[in-house]
Amino acid sequence: MELIYMAGIVGWTWSAWRWADWSRFREFRASIYVVIIGDFLYNLLTKNHHLWMFLSPTFHFSHHFIQVLISLCATPFAIMLFLSHYPEKSRLKQALYLALWAGVFSLHEWIVVKLGVFKYNDGWNMWWSIVINCLAFPFVILHQKRPALAVFVFFFITLLLCLIFRVDVIHIKEP
């Protein structure tokens, strides 16, 4: 079942190779890095309290290994493809484009949950993932246009989610 991860990596890589505008890579590079850093930050902040986890029932890869593999081998290509075709002019086309990408990512997550290689913990569920997917793509666009504001918004949303899901970001030892 874990082959779905490899299929995703190959699919994003091939799609980006085929359809992304690689002449704009330097323009998109910072946003790609920010998304990767966000993935790693999630794993760091939730290392003992994962809200969602990648599973590997057949090959027994750790959640962290799969997360790093996806973050480094699929995410950059997906973001490159997303940014390459973002419609700049029409607000309606922008909204539809963002909805399409949030829908694709949400559908992929639904599939991996049904395949048994992804699970939710501690109150997280598909609805929360849909909300995050609906926020993530506008965030990438915001980062392209106003990076400082995007980083502020990212940290605010991260802190808010840590509070909602009671993720210990500060661990104080009892005497």
The predicted structure's pLDDT at residue 114: 96
Domain edges within the chain: 3-164
pLDDT band at residue 49 under the 50/70/90 scheme: confident
Residue 45: per-residue pLDDT: 85
User: SS3 for the chain, per residue?
Assistant: CCHHHHHHHHHHHHHHHHHCCHHHHHHHHHHHHHHHHHHHHHHHHCCCCCCEEECCCCCCCCHHHHHHHHHHHCHHHHHHHHHHCCCCCCHHHHHHHHHHHHHHHHHHHHHHHHHCCEEECCCCCHHHHHHHHHHHHHHHHHHHHCHHHHHHHHHHHHHHHHHHCCCCCCCCCCC
At 173, the pLDDT band (50, 70, 90 cuts) reads low
Q: Among the listed ranges 36-50, 61-75, 102-116, 145-159, which one has the minimum average pLDDT value?
A: 36-50
pLDDT (tens digit per residue) in 37-48: 999 998 888 888
Residue 159: predicted pLDDT? 87
Mean of pLDDT values over 30-56: 92
pLDDT at 82: 98
